[in-house]
Structures are given as structure tokens and as C-alpha cells.
């Protein structure tokens, strides 16, 4: 049996990612994390920038390490990051989380729902792991999301606001998807039904109602009235955060979230829609010539940006692992995705994952920037695959 079909093999993959970041990511001078490690050899290329999402993801990652019986230092690393998140990213005067810091000095106070969702996720996983302060951070982040971003008329979250909480007109899929993920984690951490209800509402509203306007596919960008903005950034196909087109990776990620929701809710549509979205991800996104999933495509599956991103494939791995518990055919995709990823996307020397390759699997640059994802996607989905194996000992066989 291949290593990724065993708990031991998945644990090895999981620990490799943690080991890539620790201890170099621990900022003992300023606090928090140094998240900007070069994906090729691990050298620090930016020791000062503190990005809200990177900080929250670090807390999440090391909390998962505690939950997965990882190295003893995971608890210390999670506690270290949570203190910085609580004390330095939080703006007490305006009651929100600052987006970008230079050391401890704020550089950008823009309020992003996406960032607040990751704080909620960090608080949830810290709570599960028994990290002091985790529950308080969970509740504070949820309160801000509800008071500042939630729009009852649309039953979805707004996307962005000024430092003083003036909402922008843009509405986005991505922030709501990660809010749904964080709310599910909050429910698993606390058993509080309000988190489960909110996550279910978002999933139902977005994946069944909003997507009806685009034939069931997940568009990324919307007006303030939640109408698809089909021309958004059409002149910027390589926009880092808001590219035009359909993203196969987000179809797989929503499939994963619906499969997790189905563990807690009995509605049949959850697994049906999860299968639909995963099937759409691979039907639209799989590159038959070079292998792997495209980054963005049009409605016919023609690639807009044909690059291969590490996070896309880890999300598809997590989704296929969960779906294979209900339909063994998804185990074939699980195998295929792992085989492709181990050949191309995982750093063979260190075990971390590359951010982006070209369609033909070339590396076109160092992928440096402040907005990094320090192992969050591979760790999350290795952990979910381990959970799938624990829930169903015969899964993938």
C-alpha cells in the first residue's frame, strides 16, 4: 500500500511540513512568526512583515500539530503565535484585526473578512488543542464577523472595509468559503450549534442559490447585491488574489467543506452537491496533456491561467479523501492527485509544497511576498485524510 493510504505515511507528510517551518519561523525578538521562508531551501527572505493570515494560519498549523500528536514544540509554537495575534494584530480602538504589520507597527489596517475568518479558524483549532486564550480569540473573531461583515438580507458576509468599518461594494466567494470552514472548526471545538447553523446557512446560500446564476459553477466575484460580476478583473488574469474565471481549486475546496458538513448534518443535498463540485473541479480543471489541475478556467474548461498551484491539489486531495468514504471511485482521484503532487509539487528535499509551477512544471520565480500560506493547505488536508482513515479503517482500500 502506498504511503499516503496509511496513517503512518500521512503523518510523515504532515510532520515534514511542520519541520520545514519550525524553528526558523519563531520570531523571538518581536514575537509571532517569520512566515516568509523561501520554498526552495527555507532561508528567510523577509523577517519583518507580519501578515494577519500568515499569523493565524501559523497558530492553526501548530494547533493541528498538537491535535495530531506531533512534536512537543507544537504547543509552544501555537501559544507563541496566539499571543502575538491577540495582542499585536488586534486594534482595540476600532475593534478589528489589522491586516499587515511591520514588526509590531501597523502598516495596513484594512479590514478583510478573509483575515477575520482565519483568526476564527486559529481560535477554533487552538481551543481544540487546549491552547490558553484560544476560546477567547474564537469568540472575539466571531463577534466581529457577525457585527461588521454579516449581511442578514443576503445571509452572507461582506468582504472588505476601511479601518473605520465602511464596507466596500465588492462581495466575494473566497471570504465566505473560509468563513464557512472556520465556523465548522468552531463548532467542532465548542459544540455550540450557532456556529454549525451559520456555516450551513453560508454553504446552502452560496453553493445552491448564488451559483444558480452560473449554472452551478462557483464564480468568484459579485456586486453588493450578490449578482455575478462576470467582467471583474478580466484585464488582469494573473491577479494574485482576485483573478477572473472559475477556479477548480475552490470547487474542490467547497466539496471538502460540504463533506465535512455532512458529518454533522443529515441533509442529503450536502454530499450530492459535494460530488457535483468535485466532479466539476476535475472535469473543467484537469490538464490531460501535462497532468494536474489548472488555476483558472472559463466555463468550458479552457484554461485562463494554466499554472499548477500547490494549494489547489492539496484541497482536491482532502476532498477526495472525504468523498471516498461514501463512494470508492473518489479513491482513484485521491491516488492520482497524490502521485502527481509528489512528483511535481512537493519539495523532495524538505517536504514543503511549492506555491506555483508553470503548466509544464517549471518554476518561474522564487514566489516571494508577504502574503504566504505557511503550510496551511497541505497540513489541513493531510490531517483530514488521517481523520478519514480513522473514521473508516477500510477507506481507500
User: What's the average model confidence in pLDDT over 178-205?
Assistant: 98
- From the CB of residue 240, how many other CB atoms can be counted at a distance below 10 Å? 8
pLDDT tens track for 52-93? 999 999 999 999 999 999 999 999 999 999 999 999 999 999
Q: Cell for 257? A: 467543506
d(C-alpha 73, C-alpha 80), whole Å: 10
Active-site option among 51, 89, 112, 377: 377
Residue 391 is predicted with a pLDDT of 67
Active-site option among 51, 80, 250, 251: 250
Residue-range domain boundaries for the chain: 3-391
The pLDDT of residue 218 is above 60? yes
Residue 1 is predicted with a pLDDT of 57
Write the class of the CATH domain 3-391. mainly alpha
Active-site residue, 377 included: yes
Q: Cell for 357? A: 509551477
Average per-residue pLDDT for the chain: 96
User: What's the average model confidence in pLDDT over 187-202?
Assistant: 98
Residue 395 is predicted with a pLDDT of 46
User: What's the average model confidence in pLDDT over 233-257?
Assistant: 96
Compute the C-alpha angle 113/56/349, nearest 5°: 125
The pLDDT of residue 365 is above 80? no
Q: What is the pTM of this model?
A: 0.97
d(C-alpha 139, C-alpha 119), whole Å: 10
Residue 37 is predicted with a pLDDT of 96
Above pLDDT 90, what percent of the chain? 94
Torsion of CA 342, 346, 352, 357, to 10 degrees: -160
Alpha-carbon distances of 179 from 50, 185, 198, rounded to whole Å: 21, 10, 9
d(C-alpha 143, C-alpha 396), whole Å: 40
Active-site residue, 239 included: no
pLDDT tens track for 329-342? 999 999 999 999 99
Distance of CA 206 to the CA centre of its chain: 17
Amino acid at each position: 500500500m502506498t504511503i499516503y493510504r496509511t496513517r503512518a505515511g500521512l503523518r510523515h507528510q504532515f510532520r515534514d511540513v511542520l519541520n520545514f517551518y519550525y524553528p526558523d519561523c519563531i520570531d523571538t525578538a518581536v514575537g509571532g512568526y517569520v512566515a516568509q521562508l523561501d520554498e526552495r531551501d527555507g532561508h528567510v527572505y523577509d523577517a519583518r512583515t507580519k501578515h494577519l493570515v500568515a499569523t493565524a494560519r501559523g497558530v492553526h498549523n501548530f494547533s493541528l500539530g498538537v491535535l495530531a500528536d506531533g512534536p512537543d514544540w507544537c504547543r509552544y509554537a501555537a501559544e507563541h503565535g496566539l499571543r502575538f495575534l491577540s495582542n499585536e494584530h488586534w486594534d482595540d480602538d476600532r475593534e478589528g484585526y489589522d491586516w499587515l504589520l511591520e514588526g509590531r507597527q501597523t502598516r495596513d489596517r484594512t479590514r478583510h473578512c478573509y483575515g477575520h475568518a482565519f483568526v476564527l479558524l486559529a481560535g477554533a483549532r487552538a481551543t481544540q488543542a487546549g491552547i490558553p486564550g484560544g476560546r477567547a480569540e474564537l469568540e472575539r473573531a466571531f463577534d466581529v464577523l457577525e457585527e461588521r461583515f454579516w449581511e442578514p438580507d443576503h445571509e452572507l458576509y461582506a468582504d472588505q472595509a476601511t479601518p473605520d468599518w465602511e464596507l466596500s461594494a465588492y462581495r466575494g466567494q473566497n471570504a465566505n468559503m473560509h468563513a464557512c470552514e472556520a465556523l465548522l472548526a468552531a463548532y467542532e471545538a465548542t459544540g455550540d450549534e450557532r456556529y454549525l447553523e451559520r456555516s450551513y446557512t453560508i454553504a446552502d446560500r452560496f453553493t445552491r442559490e448564488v451559483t444558480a446564476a452560473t449554472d452551478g459553477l462557483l464564480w468568484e466575484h459579485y456586486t453588493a447585491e450578490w449578482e455575478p460580476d462576470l467582467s471583474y478583473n478580466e484585464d488582469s488574469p494573473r491577479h494574485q488574489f482576485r483573478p477572473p474565471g472559475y477556479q477548480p481549486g475552490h470547487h474542490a475546496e467547497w466539496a471538502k467543506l460540504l463533506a465535512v458538513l455532512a458529518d454533522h448534518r443529515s441533509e442529503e443535498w450536502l454530499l450530492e452537491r459535494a460530488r457535483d463540485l468535485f466532479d466539476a473541479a476535475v472535469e473543467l480543471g484537469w490538464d490531460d496533456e501535462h497532468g494536474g489541475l489548472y488555476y483558472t478556467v472559463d466555463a468550458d474548461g479552457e484554461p485562463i491561467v494554466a499554472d499548477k498551484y500547490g494549494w489547489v491539489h492539496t484541497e482536491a486531495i482532502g476532498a477526495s479523501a472525504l468523498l471516498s468514504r461514501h463512494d470508492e471511485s473518489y479513491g482513484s482521484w485521491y491516488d492520482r492527485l497524490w502521485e502527481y503532487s509528489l512528483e511535481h509539487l512537493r519539495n523532495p528535499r524538505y517536504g514543503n509544497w511549492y506555491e506555483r509551477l508553470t503548466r509544464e512544471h517549471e518554476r518561474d520565480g522564487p514566489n516571494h511576498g508577504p502574503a504566504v500560506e505557511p503550510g496551511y493547505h497541505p497540513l489541513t488536508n493531510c490531517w483530514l485524510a488521517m481523520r478519514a482513515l480513522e473514521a473508516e479503517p477500510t477507506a481507500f482500500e
